[in-house]
Structure formats: structure tokens, C-alpha cells
Chains A and B, each alone.
With several copies, the nearest count.
Chain A
Amino acid sequence: LATESLFALSQPGRRGAELPEADVPVKPLNELLPTAALAIEPTGLPEVTEPDIIRHFVNLSTLNMCVDTHFYPLGSCTMKYNPKRHERLASLPGIVDLHPYQNPSDLQGMLALLYETQEMLAEISGLPAVSLQPAAGAQGEFTALLTAKAYFEDRGEKRTKVLFPNSAHGTNPASAAIAGFDCVQLASSKAGLVDLEDLKANLDDQTAVFMVTNPNTLGLFEKDIKQIADMVHEVGGLVYIDGANMNAILGYTRPGDFGGDMMHYNVHKTFTGPHGAGGPGSGPIAVRDFLSDFLPGPVIKRNENAGENGDQYTLENPPKSIGRVRTFYGNIGIVVRGYCYLRTLGAKGLKAVSENAVLNANYLKAILKDVLPVPNGDLCMHEFVASASKIKAENGVTAMDIAKRLLDFGFHAPTVYFPLVVPEAIMVEPTETESKETLDAFAETIRKILQEDPEYLHQAPHSTAISRPDEVVAARHPILQCCEPQ
């Protein structure tokens, strides 16, 4: 019943919303607008009542696993708990109902909040200039790369290359490409780290940026990061830190301190903006001082001596700004949640987040390593990448089989088949907001699964709302909407 189509609930004449009569004198529409511009027929939107709409979507929602219902160790995504106070506070009148073009004098509370967020993100990164604009991590990458480009152009340099290790998130090369750079992929060392030789071989005066995730996607800290940064800086390039894994190092070390010149945050990961079934995210960037003039506008400035009628906080465009990367000022609703989180934790709390995220990951790794070996690294940071390749070789059970079977036991699956450098990768990120009891239960379940009949596992999951979908058919004959194309 839940999975009946919304359109199947439609009956001509049913209504989900009522609108009042116009309280102004009404004229025929074709006196107001040219007839040629008017629709000939009404839209094909369905006609459904409010009770049916609620029942439909409430029932659909229950087909999801989510952090509020299940352990969700999806590696690289930092599926930590989303504090409920954030939802309440981000919905306050005076926060949720501000129009982007209001007079800044009526926005001083919001601008203060955003300014403070900029300051905190600068401090946590060790990079002093922050832009809150990017809508997501990928846009943060793109924005930072354009910033770098503008910087080089301002110096009269035209550098063409962006380098990144083969363990990088796919967005790194994609962002570099749309920013107009040539992409150079580097090998990883046996230890799962940046291959210094390969890096050296590719660094030259065309190198604009070296992009690296640190801790990297294998959950390992790039221990040579300072040396790497020095090498990049030596050829005049810049180091970009993909901050996807900041949850591991808050208060322990800072991108600005280990050689990074630019980075992005994922507020929806590290600072627990809710993931919202795929978004919205928020991807602020932080950069070194010498890059600050190139940031997209506007940024929030604080004016110490604003005077009687002046505003303390203002929106300003950096002098050599790359321009806008989006409309308005950023995914403010998510930034507000991040602000609430930062203000809740403070310095000690932020460090405790990373301490426990790393502890949880290492513990889970330790109690699983005999059955799920981790090819790279001894200690991990906040996540680890195990490999099911030995298991696959033995009895044909794949990382995907394990992932799917976990769903039957009430655990969301880890990330599988990423990063690409680990065969049959199973990437587990427990986060700090899970208990030892949950980790123990998860490990127990993995052991149980590995004892099960491989055939049974190939068919998993067995107890979910649907069994494995046919993705090949879906891609060959895409059905992307439920009505006949008109």
C-alpha cells in the first residue's frame, strides 16, 4: 500500500490544499497576460487529499534506514547523530524566515552567527579566510580551485595541472575538470599513502594544485603530509585538503598546520548537518591569507567601530573575487546547524569527537580484523577499509553480498567498492555517536554472516521491503517518471 504511486491516489476533483478567493478586484487572466503566454491546459499534477498525501509519504519514509533508526556505518559519509536541538533552532522565526535581500540592518543577528562560524572554521582549519558559499563539498573543491586559478593569474602564472592520488574521491578530478584544469592521477604507495616518487615525478611548474584527502580515503593519516606540501610549494603549487575526513582530527591537527593552503569542510558530515536523504549539504572553504582576496563574494565582515548608525556586520565582496558560485550566500540553513554544533561542543568537545570517532573505528577494526582483514595501515583514523577479496577467493562471497546481508540484521551497509585502490573494499565509519554495544553487535553479525551459505548471501537481502533491484534493466531502458511523456 505504501508503495502505491502518488499518482494512483489521484481522483478528479480531490484537493490537498484550498486557496482563498482573491480579495482584490479580479480581472480575466487574458486581460492581464497575453493569451499566447497562457497555458492551454492545466498541468498534469495529481489530485490527492491531504490525508492520503500524509499517509503515502509517512509510509514511504518507513522504508528507509536512517541514523535515527539504525547503525549506519557508511564509510566516508560520517553518518553521525543529528542533534534535535539543531532542527528546532534552525526553524526559529528570525532564522528560518529571513529573505536574502532584507536590509542588512535587519539581519545583524544572522550575520553575527555567520561571522562567528567563519571564525570558528578558520580556527579549526588553521586557515584564516573562509567562504560559507559552497553548497556542498564538490562545490567547495571547485570554488577553491577557481580561487587558486585566480591567484595564479593575478601573479601572471598560468598553471594547468591538478594532481591527486588514485584513492581520491571522484569529485576531485571532476571539479578540477570543470575548473578547466588537466587532471593527473598519482599512484598510491603500498602503505596506502601518497606515493612520493610518483608525486615528485609529476610536479613541475605547470602544477597548480595538489589535492589530497587527509586523513585519506583509506582512513590513514598522510604522515608525510608536511614533506608533500613542501614539495608542492617548492614548485610553486598549492595544496588542497579535501576535508571530508575532518571528523578524525578536530583539535588534534589542522590542515593549515600540516601544509594545506586551501580546504573544504562538509558541514553535513563533520558538523552534523543532517544528510537529508542526499542533501542539502554545505561545503565552506578555508584558505590562506594570500588567497583571501580571490574568494567568492560576499563574505561577512565585522566592523569594530561601526558607529551610531552603521551595522556591525556587513556583506562584502573580496577585491579580486572570482565572482559568484551560487545565488545568495550559501546553504545557510545547514550552516546554522553547524554553528549550533560548534557552539555545543567547544574546544574540548570537538577534540573528544575525534578521539572517540578514532577509538570506535580502531576498536571495530580490532575486533573484526581476523575475519575482515584491512590491507593498509596498522592503526586507522576514524574509519577503515577492509577487503573481502580473500573471502571472495575462498567461497565467492563479495563485499556487496556482505553489505546486502547486513541490512537483514538491521544494520545499514558500509560503503563498498570505494576507494577503488582496495579490491572488494568495505569501508566502515562508525562515528563517535555509536556505543561499544552497537559495535560489538555489528562485529558479531559480520562473523555470523561469514558463516552463512554463500548462495544465501548472493541472494541477500531477504527481509527488506524489496530484494536486489535489477539495475541493468533500469539503465538500459530508463523509466524516470511514472506518467507517459506528454
Chain B
Amino acid sequence: MPYLFNTSEQQQEMLQAIGVDSTEDLFSNIPQELRLDRPLNVPPALTEMELQAHVSKLAADNVGPGSRVCMLGGGAYDHFIPAAVDEIARRGEFYTAYTPYQAEASQGSLQTFFEFQSLICQLTGMDVSNASLYEGGTCVSEAAFMAMRVTNRHDRVVLLGSLHPEYRQVVETYLKHLNCEVVVVPCVNGSVDPADVDAAMNDQTACLVIQHPNFFGTLEEAEQLTEIAHKYGALSVVSYDPISLGILKRPGDYGADIAIAEGQSLGTPLQFGGPYLGLFSCSEKFVRRMPGRLIGQTVDRNGKRCYVLNLQAREQHIRRDKATSNICSNQGLIAIRAAVYLALLGKQGIREVAELCCQKAHYAAEQLAQIEGLQLPFPERAFFKEFVLSCSEGADYLLRKARQAGFDLGPELSRFEWTDGSGADQTGVLVAITEQRTREEIDRLVTALKA
């Protein structure tokens, strides 16, 4: 058996020390009638060599960006990951440690998470960040919960219809059992009309959830919408694209109360949708209502600066059913990846990545829109790195044609349930252009789609 130590001699010695005859005796508290009286019916064991051959074969049955040009978007993006990120994240000292309960033996994780929090604050302009939540979608429900606690309004939240439809579904799953009304303001022509939002808000609304740039890639009037939220005493929750903050105003700049995001773009591979990274930051005044793990700076007995798990009184192991959230882990290793990524890019790099995405996406949109049968349905809307492309012959036709030429576009808007009609364009497909895409690739796609 791999990974086991006890030789049969040792097993005997140990049983003797325990005072039983066999390992079977150790399980005597499990009533005989509850025992499984047969071997588990699972596939046979594989040695490392066999396992590697087997998983390699499974991997070969998939088609990854290595063999296809990835222009897929919708909340997960093929950004470049510097090798230094892997170098740090694959250190056993990080990936085989656990939650830093013992601060004296965990300063590596603690300081890294503290720096992660600091980097996220710098990126977003927010006062405080936690050490991460699960992923972008659950961040929205955690933000809604937090807003309900802060505002003491438990019955109503308002979402923009341009929110990622899966995020919306998550919020609905989380909130509907609490008799909290989830109001969706429909998205028209790629973004939401602030007047519609104003109409949907009232003084029982805990928060307004804005995605900016939104699911369709276009910019929302985040600043104005934040003002509207505040007018009704609601919190402004902004879901941002972390890469976009290299050039866009930061949530902290325009008064967002809670800033959340999917952090996958910051150095984490696509890996079929997870594990990803929920970024969650807020104004200082709400810090004790914040979900998730927080690392704080303090001093040790000798006055040396050090870091600890802070404000644990908010958490489940103390507050149990009164805790700020049921989440009791963070995405430690993914947060470490993001910290290294942000440190590497730095002030200039994050701006340049954002600019490259934006410039290349605009070039691609311009070229694609000139092809007969393809349209940008929201030509008036500003977008960042992702846009909707409509095809007169239908989304499937477009996807298939691109795929045959070696390009993955999508997701198609018709993939999602659009309860409010926001994504009603059944011929629309998202196209995301990261800094990794080259003009040559874009031109090749254009040529192929023209053919």
C-alpha cells in the first residue's frame, strides 16, 4: 500500500501496547450489522506509473487551450501566468500547511495573506480585504448577507440584470429560502439604465449589486449606480474584473461599500472552473460584519511585528449559528497565487495588461464586426476585454465555424436562463480577448469566419 508506514511487526507491537489482538478489534464500536461485509466496489488500484498513463489518456481526451485558441470568457479567462507564481505556490511549505491556527508556526502563510489583503486594498482602493472566499459567485451572496446585517434590511436585494447569470442563480439559491426578495433590473442593450435601477430601489433594499464591467463585457454607470444605492440607504456592492482595475476607476474611488470579484485572472489556471478565488473587500466601518478569514498585524511578546488570525469572534467555531458566515476556510493557496501575481505585475504591469486586453479586444471587435453576418449588438456601449458578437445564422453556427478553425468562443448567451430577458439575444456569443491573444490569431479567426 502506498503512503503507509506500519509493517506487520510494528502493527503487532502497537496492538500489544493498545491491549487488543487485532486491528479488527479497534473497530469493535461499530456494530457488526452496520459493517460493510464486502470490499468496496471501486476500480482496482493503480501504481503511480499506471495512474500517470491513465490520467494522461483522460487529459488527451480533452482539448485545452494548448491545441485551440481560447477566446472564451464569461467569468474565467485565459490570462498569462508567470512561472514565478507556480514556483511559489508549489512549495510544500505553502500547499501542505493548513489554516494558520498556530501563529508561531505559520508566519509564512499569515504574512502572505496579510500582504494579499494589502494588495487587494491597493488594487481596489477599498479599506480592508479579507483573505478570500470561495469564488466570484458566492461572493455575491456573502455580500448580500453582509449588507443585510449592516443595513438590518433582510427582505430585499436588487441585482443588475447584467450580472453573470450564474452569480445571479447562486444569489437566488442562497436567498430564496430566507424569504428575501431578489429583484433583477433588466439589462437593455448591453447595460442597465440607471433610471430603471432607481425605480427598482426602495428603502427596504439592503444592497444593489453591480457588475462592472458587466457580464456582456460592457461598462455600467458604476459611480452613478452607487450614488443611487446610497440614496436609498442601501449598500453598493460592485463585482469587478481585477484586471480591469489597471485602467478603470477603482470601486473605492467611487464609493462602493463592498467590492467583490472572481480572482481567477490573477495567476490561477482555468482548471475547468475551480478552485478559483473570491475577492472580498469593504469599507473599514463594516469590518466586523465581514465574512471570511482576516489576518491582522500585531506584536509578539518581544514586541516583534507579526501576524495572526484576527477578529475570530465573528467565526463559526465561536459564534456558531450567529456567525457572520458559515465559511470556515479561505482559498489559501489561490490567494497566495494572486499575491505573487500582483506583486510581479505591480503598478506598471497591471496597467499594461489591462491596456493590452482592451486594445486587442477592440481590434478584434472591429475586425469581426466587418464580417458579413456578424454584428456587435451594442455598438454604443464601451467594453473592456470582452464583448457580445451576434451572428445572423445563429450562435451555434458561429461557434462551430470558429471551432473548426481552431478557435473557442463563448459562452453563447442562450446557454443561460434569462428570467428577466437581459440576455435575450439568442444569436449572441461572448468573445474574450486577453493579453495572450495575438493580432495574428485574431486575423486568422477573421479570415476563417469570412470564408
For residue B1, which residues in chain A have a CB less than 8 angstroms away from its CB? 345, 348-349, 352
**A326 x B137 contact (CB < 8 A):** yes
**A333 x B271 contact (CB < 8 A):** yes
For residue B56, which residues in chain A have a CB less than 8 angstroms away from its CB? 89, 92
**B166 x A19 contact (CB < 8 A):** no
**A225 x B345 contact (CB < 8 A):** no
User: What's the dominant secondary structure at chain A's contact region?
Assistant: loop
**B59 x A280 contact (CB < 8 A):** no
Does A371 lie at the interface of the complex (its beta carbon under 8 Å from any beta carbon of B)?
no
For residue B346, which residues in chain A have a CB less than 8 angstroms away from its CB? 10, 14-17, 45-48
**A98 x B272 contact (CB < 8 A):** yes
For residue B155, which residues in chain A have a CB less than 8 angstroms away from its CB? none
For residue A40, which residues in chain B have a CB less than 8 angstroms away from its CB? 249, 253
* Residue with the greatest number of chain B CB neighbours at <10 A, chosen from A5, A86, A88: A88
Nearest-Cβ distance from residue A183 to partner chain B, whole angstroms: 4
For residue B73, which residues in chain A have a CB less than 8 angstroms away from its CB? 101
Among B44, B173, B435, contact of A323 (Cβ-Cβ < 8 Å)? B173
Among A15, A22, A33, A252, contact of B2 (Cβ-Cβ < 8 Å)? A15
**A481 x B327 contact (CB < 8 A):** no
Given A124-B40, A471-B308, decide whether A77 and B115 contact each other with a Cβ distance below 8 A.
no
| Closest residue of B by beta carbon distance from A47 | B346
User: Interface code A69-95, partner B: CB below 8 Å = 1, 0 otherwise?
Assistant: 100101001011111111111101111
| Closest residue of B by beta carbon distance from A470 | B298
User: Interface code B284-314, partner A: CB below 8 Å = 1, 0 otherwise?
Assistant: 1001000001111111111011111011110
**B104 x A54 contact (CB < 8 A):** no
For residue B299, which residues in chain A have a CB less than 8 angstroms away from its CB? 469-470, 473
Does B162 lie at the interface of the complex (its beta carbon under 8 Å from any beta carbon of A)?
no
Given A278-B109, A480-B295, decide whether A53 and B317 contact each other with a Cβ distance below 8 A.
no
Does B231 lie at the interface of the complex (its beta carbon under 8 Å from any beta carbon of A)?
no
- Interface residues in B334-350 by Cβ distance below 8 A to A read 334, 336, 339-340, 342-350
Interface residues on A, range: 35 or more
**A324 x B137 contact (CB < 8 A):** yes
| Closest residue of B by beta carbon distance from A24 | B363
Among A18, A124, A277, A327, contact of B94 (Cβ-Cβ < 8 Å)? A277
**B326 x A141 contact (CB < 8 A):** yes
- Interface residues in A88-144 by Cβ distance below 8 A to B read 88-90, 92-103, 106-110, 112-113, 116, 120, 123-124, 126, 135-136, 138-139, 141-142
For residue A92, which residues in chain B have a CB less than 8 angstroms away from its CB? 55-56, 59
Does B65 lie at the interface of the complex (its beta carbon under 8 Å from any beta carbon of A)?
yes
**B48 x A328 contact (CB < 8 A):** no
Nearest-Cβ distance from residue B108 to partner chain A, whole angstroms: 4
For residue A280, which residues in chain B have a CB less than 8 angstroms away from its CB? 134, 274-275, 329, 331-334
**A60 x B271 contact (CB < 8 A):** no
**Number of residues of chain B lying within 8 A (CB) of chain A:** 221
* Residue with the greatest number of chain B CB neighbours at <10 A, chosen from A15, A64, A65, A483: A64
Report how far A221 CA is from B275 CA in the complex, Å: 32
User: Interface code A232-273, partner B: CB below 8 Å = 1, 0 otherwise?
Assistant: 000000000000000001111110011000000000000000
**B59 x A174 contact (CB < 8 A):** no
Report how far A64 CA is from B332 CA in the complex, Å: 13
- Interface residues in B395-444 by Cβ distance below 8 A to A read 399, 403, 408, 410-411, 415, 435, 438-440, 442
For residue A432, which residues in chain B have a CB less than 8 angstroms away from its CB? 3-6
Given A116-B43, A432-B3, A469-B299, decide whether A95 and B273 contact each other with a Cβ distance below 8 A.
no
Among A89, A113, A323, A379, contact of B29 (Cβ-Cβ < 8 Å)? A379
Report how far A151 CA is from B112 CA in the complex, Å: 43
**A47 x B438 contact (CB < 8 A):** no
Does A299 lie at the interface of the complex (its beta carbon under 8 Å from any beta carbon of B)?
no
Report how far A281 CA is from B113 CA in the complex, Å: 17
Given A46-B347, A51-B3, A324-B173, decide whether A96 and B98 contact each other with a Cβ distance below 8 A.
no
**A175 x B300 contact (CB < 8 A):** no
Does B181 lie at the interface of the complex (its beta carbon under 8 Å from any beta carbon of A)?
no
Does A170 lie at the interface of the complex (its beta carbon under 8 Å from any beta carbon of B)?
yes
Nearest-Cβ distance from residue B184 to partner chain A, whole angstroms: 14
User: Interface code A332-361, partner B: CB below 8 Å = 1, 0 otherwise?
Assistant: 111010001011111111111101101110
Does A366 lie at the interface of the complex (its beta carbon under 8 Å from any beta carbon of B)?
yes
Given A15-B346, A94-B62, A103-B403, decide whether A38 and B108 contact each other with a Cβ distance below 8 A.
no
**B29 x A221 contact (CB < 8 A):** yes
Among B13, B315, B330, B359, contact of A436 (Cβ-Cβ < 8 Å)? B13
Does B356 lie at the interface of the complex (its beta carbon under 8 Å from any beta carbon of A)?
yes
Given A24-B359, A53-B344, decide whether A471 and B298 contact each other with a Cβ distance below 8 A.
yes
Does A448 lie at the interface of the complex (its beta carbon under 8 Å from any beta carbon of B)?
no
| Partner-binding segment picked from B123-131, B192-200, B202-210, B370-378 | B123-131
* Residue with the greatest number of chain B CB neighbours at <10 A, chosen from A24, A39, A103, A330: A24
Does B451 lie at the interface of the complex (its beta carbon under 8 Å from any beta carbon of A)?
no
Report how far A347 CA is from B92 CA in the complex, Å: 28
Among A19, A54, A355, A467, contact of B352 (Cβ-Cβ < 8 Å)? A19
User: Interface code A54-70, partner B: CB below 8 Å = 1, 0 otherwise?
Assistant: 10111011111111110
Given A64-B94, A87-B87, A326-B135, decide whether A17 and B219 contact each other with a Cβ distance below 8 A.
no
Nearest-Cβ distance from residue B32 to partner chain A, whole angstroms: 10
Report how far A358 CA is from B129 CA in the complex, Å: 41
**A82 x B5 contact (CB < 8 A):** no
11 more A-B residue pairs beyond the given contacts A174-B316, A258-B34, with a C-beta to C-beta distance below 8 A: A19-B353, A33-B384, A34-B382, A50-B344, A103-B403, A110-B272, A250-B40, A279-B332, A432-B3, A475-B296, A478-B310
